[in-house]
Amino acid sequence: MNINIFENSELGSQFVAEQIQALIKKKTKLTEEVILGLATGSTPKELYKKLVSMYKAGEISFEQVITFNLDEYHPMSHDSEHSYHHFMNQIFFDAVDIKAENTWIPSGEVEKAQIESHCREYEQQIVDVGGIDLQLLGIGTNGHIGFNEPGSTIDSVTRYVELDEQTRIDAAAAFGGIDNVPRNAISMGIDTILKAKEIVLMAWGSGKAEIIRDCLFGEITAVKPATFLQKHPNVHIVLDREAAALIDVD
């Protein structure tokens, strides 16, 4: 794994924004579409702001970009302020030139009986566009990536999941109390993530230091799903000093 440590999250986010810019330039020159796997949460917020600034400065275009988000709560109205649909529209999609029909997010609105086929279609849509070129990830304090909670297996695909207690605790403040945090979600699987050609995992702050150490250097185990990233040949880990505090890198 390639580990990049920055003084702060702003510099780390700038680095990732420039990686995305370079990928878009390279592929669009060949008139190819660019397939990005996107993450939500607090970690990628600065990155999206940087990408919006680059767009406004005429330095990047998302006209040939297709995106697939990792996950969405279920049930969850797309209009809810807590939905990842709302998050993505507000912070990124509405502010750039991406085509709405090119932005895919698992739906929190599908009926329970339709979830399985919805998940199969989501996987198929990724396959149909040729797979994800670059997958962005944050990491949960319990080692989840997407909503692949502890216990998620390496062969898991997009599916209905139960949220881990720690995940619900971590989300409680944003929802105004743990009782308001959904118990379920739809998430890409570990296998879906590992099929991406390139993966960029970002982590900021001391709260992530322990799980970063364990996931980068610990035993590969479903107990900490991010450890499965050790099996991928092209992973970039982007950390600030605090998140990197417990790892030795020369």
Q: Which residues bind ligand PGA (CB under 6 A)?
A: 41-43, 138-140
DSSP string, 16-82: HHHHHHHHHHHHHHTT--EEEEE--SSTTHHHHHHHHHHHHTTS---TTEEEEESEEEES--TTSTT
Is there a catalytic annotation at residue 232?
no
Measured from the CB of residue 71, what is the shortest distance to ligand PGA in angstroms? 9
Is there a catalytic annotation at residue 162?
no
CA–CA separation, 176 and 83 (whole Å): 14
Rounded to the nearest 5°, which phi and psi values hold at 63? -65, -30
Residues facing 198 on adjacent strands:
134
**Which residue among the candidates 46, 71, 164, 240 is catalytic per the annotation?**
71
Q: Which is nearer to ligand PGA, 24 or 243 (CB)?
A: 243
| Residue 55 near residue 63 (C-beta atoms within 8 A) | no
Is there a catalytic annotation at residue 144?
yes
Measured from the CB of residue 137, what is the shortest distance to ligand PGA in angstroms? 7
Q: Which is nearer to ligand PGA, 108 or 138 (CB)?
A: 138
**Which residue among the candidates 123, 149, 170, 240 is catalytic per the annotation?**
149
Q: What residue type is assigned to position 106 of the chain?
A: P
Who's near 226: CB < 8 A, 6+ residues apart?
137, 139, 143, 144, 145, 201, 211, 215
Is there a catalytic annotation at residue 2?
no
Q: Which is nearer to ligand PGA, 87 or 102 (CB)?
A: 87
Measured from the CB of residue 141, what is the shortest distance to ligand PGA in angstroms? 8
Nearest to 237, CA basis, from 15, 23, 38, 70:
15
Measured from the CB of residue 139, what is the shortest distance to ligand PGA in angstroms? 5
Q: Which is nearer to ligand PGA, 24 or 203 (CB)?
A: 203
Active site residues: 71, 142, 144, 149
